[in-house]
Structure 1
Amino acid sequence: MIEVKDLTKQYGDKVAVDHLSFTVKSGMVTGFLGPNGAGKTTTMRMILGLDTPTSGTATVAGRRYGDLPEPMRSLGALLDAKAVHPSRTARNHLRCLALSNGLPTRRVDEVLGQVGLLGVAGKRAGQFSLGMSQRLGIAGALLGDPELLMFDEPVNGLDPEGIRWIRQLMKRLADEGRTILVSSHLMSEMALTADHLIVIGRGRLVADTSLHDFVEASSERTVLVRTPSKDKFAEVLRRNGATVRVESDGDLIVSGMESLEISGLALADGVPLAELTPRRTSLEDAFMELTRDDVEYNVAEGAA
């Protein structure tokens, strides 16, 4: 497990992480979410021992990362895809990591093949696109065959194929029983990838829950109804206890009534339906609602 207990990091008067506690469980992908400046990267750096906490602890398998006898065998991490010497080839970069961490060099070509870079193993890292750099960074994280993996914004700058590849990789690793912690601002991707969510704002814990429960807690369940008899049917729905909002394009947004009951009323009153679609709050909508008071930079309403 990755375990954070009462973790605090202060830079002068600024509190970047504020008494944060959570546990990342195995066998699932845990999304680590928060607005810019929420403290996600600082927290990850403290887990890796790159930053020293002001107070509290961050442990990997019960120990500080720096105290692990073979840390890359326990936790592999990608924080910055471009943190590679640009003159080194992909293979030599990974060989250096392997040799300096006591890992077998046979793992180098294994992980290059795993991330799809074996064909460009002799190419200098400085010539890599961002997508290729992300793959190389993930290869480095996988080098020690660790049980725990941590990725900071791994889909940044990737094309659709690269995003899909990373999503499938993380899911497969979780299915193997590994622990995956991934930070991302791409809510649509997290909705497809994460099983569990840890959400922070201004360095504090906002939510620690399953993806399903997080979205359900913020959901306004509505049904989109399209009919040529919108005025007549809106009154029918209201008489039967539904709340109806008529949009400018004539669509009816119905709450307080399920689709089956709506269709039954339409059938009973001879109202033709062109569309009847249940709607749920998206992860992005739920996230924006929960963290709206924790956004560091707010754009004034109506600003271009």
Structure 2
Amino acid sequence: MIEVRGLTKRYRSTLAVDDLTFEVRPGVVTGFLGPNGAGKSTTMRMVLDLDRPDAGEVRIDGRPYRDHARPMRTVGALLDAKWVHPNRSARRHLQWMAAATGLPATRADEVLELVGLTAVAGKRAGTFSLGMAQRLGIAGALLGDPPVLMFDEPVNGLDPEGIRWIRTLMQGLAAEGRTVFVSSHLLSEMALTATELVVIGRGRLISHGPTAAFVDGASGSSVLVRSPAITDLVPVVQAAGFGVTPDPSGGARVTGASTEQIGELAAAAGIVLHELTQVRGSLEEAFMQITGGDVEFTAGGPPPRPPVPGAPAPGPAGTHRSEVQR
């Protein structure tokens, strides 16, 4: 288990991490999310005692990282895939790491096979692609067979097969009862991989809990409705107090209503429906909704949405904030 309590770190005038508190439990994959500049990498470095916090503490299995006699056998981490001497072979690099922590040299070949690098074990690491370097970094994290694992952006540079492989790997490690903590900007992948989430923005905790609860609580759900008489249905639905937005399918998304409610409204108005589906929000939608005010850099808002058939005209420009600024 990783326990973070009141963690605070300032770099001159910049407060990188602000009184951050959370736990990462064993047995599940915990995703670590936040916009660029949110403090994720700084937090991970403080967990590993690479940066000293100004306040607060981190305990790994009950003790600070520095108090573990053989930390590689307790925590395996991938923070920088390119942290390898370019002229060392993959095998020599891992054998050097193994020797430093009292592991047998044969362990290097075991983890190389696990990550699919046996065929290039003798090649210089400096010739590796980013995807191969990621696999080598993961091999280094697994070298000591640790109960706690941390990965910072582990899918960078991986092809679809590699992304699927690491998803399966992390879920398998968690199923063995290990603590797996992973940061990523690939939200679609995190939705498939992580059971729990820690979400931060500007160094502060925004959310901590199950992935499903985060998505449902932030993005909510909607009802997709398609009808040959959609222009007649929209004002009926709006009159009942529900929000309506257009859908690329030619239908409409209704928020705040159930499929039963929309079906009953359509039936009462004598309107034929071709589709009525409850649609759950996505992790990306939930993330943007929750962290929109904590992004470090923002671009212009998205192009205006097409009008909903039958909906009133929008108000004057400037009356609504862009999606990025919410």
Offset of residue 72 of structure 1: 0.6
Aligned partners of 1:24 and 1:30 also within 8 Å = yes
Provide the rounded CA distance (Å) in 2 between the counterparts of 1:196 and 1:177. Answer: 15
The 1:244/1:75 distance shift into structure 2, 3 A limit, reads closer
Provide the rounded CA distance (Å) in 2 between the counterparts of 1:50 and 1:130. Answer: 23
Deviation per CA, 1:36-86, whole angstroms, max 9, x where unpaired?
111110111111111111121112111121220110110000000011011
The 1:270/1:282 distance shift into structure 2, 3 A limit, reads same
- The residue identity in structure 2 corresponding to 1:38 is A
Deviation per CA, 1:252-278, whole angstroms, max 9, x where unpaired?
222333224434555676643333232
Offset of residue 12 of structure 1: 1.3
Provide the residue aligned with 2:215 in structure 1: 215
Aligned partners of 2:247 and 2:253 also within 8 Å = no
**Runs ≥4 in structure 1, deviation > 6 angstroms?**
none
The 1:35/1:248 distance shift into structure 2, 3 A limit, reads closer
> Is 2:242 the partner of 1:243?
yes
Provide the rounded CA distance (Å) in 1 between the counterparts of 2:246 and 2:301. Answer: 22
Q: How do 1:180-195 and structure 2 match up within 5 A? A: 180-195=180-195
- The residue identity in structure 1 corresponding to 2:141 is A
Provide the rounded CA distance (Å) in 2 between the counterparts of 1:62 and 1:7. Answer: 16
Unaligned runs of 5+ in 2: 304-326
Q: Which secondary structure does the structure 1 equivalent of 2:234 belong to? A: helix
Provide the residue aligned with 1:117 in structure 2: 117
Q: Which secondary structure does the structure 1 equivalent of 2:298 belong to? A: coil
Deviation per CA, 1:157-185, whole angstroms, max 9, x where unpaired?
22111111111110111111100000111
Aligned partners of 1:242 and 1:254 also within 8 Å = no
- The residue identity in structure 1 corresponding to 2:111 is V
> Is 2:97 the partner of 1:97?
yes
Larger mean CA deviation between 13-22 and 293-302 belongs to 293-302
Provide the residue aligned with 2:19 in structure 1: 19
Offset of residue 236 of structure 1: 4.9
Q: How do 1:252-271 and structure 2 match up within 5 A? A: 252-263=252-263, 266=266, 271=271
Q: Give the TM-score of the pair, scaled to structure 2.
A: 0.87
Q: Give the TM-score of the pair, scaled to structure 1.
A: 0.93
Provide the rounded CA distance (Å) in 1 between the counterparts of 2:302 and 2:2. Answer: 42
The 1:138/1:255 distance shift into structure 2, 3 A limit, reads same
Provide the residue aligned with 1:282 in structure 2: 282
Provide the residue aligned with 1:36 in structure 2: 36
Identity percentage over the alignment?
58
Offset of residue 246 of structure 1: 5.8
Q: Over the residues paired in the alignment, what is the CA RMSD in angstroms?
A: 2.0
Provide the rounded CA distance (Å) in 1 between the counterparts of 2:302 and 2:25. Answer: 42
Provide the rounded CA distance (Å) in 2 between the counterparts of 1:248 and 1:6. Answer: 44
Provide the residue aligned with 2:138 in structure 1: 138
Aligned partners of 1:242 and 1:255 also within 8 Å = no
